[in-house]
Amino acid sequence: MFDTKIAIVLRNNLQSWQTLNVTAFLMSGITGSNPEILGEPYRDRSGNLYNPLSVQPIIVLSAAEETMSAIQRRALERGVPASLFIEEMFSTGHDVANRAVFSEYAPEDAKVVGIAMRADRKIVDKITKGATMHR
Which pLDDT tens digit goes with each residue over 21-72? 999 999 999 999 999 999 999 999 999 999 999 999 999 999 999 999 999 9
Longest dimension (CA), the chain: 53
Q: In this structure, are residues 43 and 49 in contact, taking their beta carbons and an 8 Å threshold? A: yes
Ordered domains of the chain (ranges, CATH): 4-133 (3.40.1490.10)
Q: In this structure, are residues 111 and 65 in contact, taking their beta carbons and an 8 Å threshold? A: yes
pTM of the model: 0.95
Write out pLDDT tens, residues 86-116: 999 999 989 999 999 999 999 999 999 999 9
Write out pLDDT tens, residues 39-50: 999 999 999 999
Helix (H, G, I), strand (E, B) or coil at 50: strand
pLDDT at 1: 80
Other C-beta atoms closer than 10 Å to the C-beta of 120 total 14
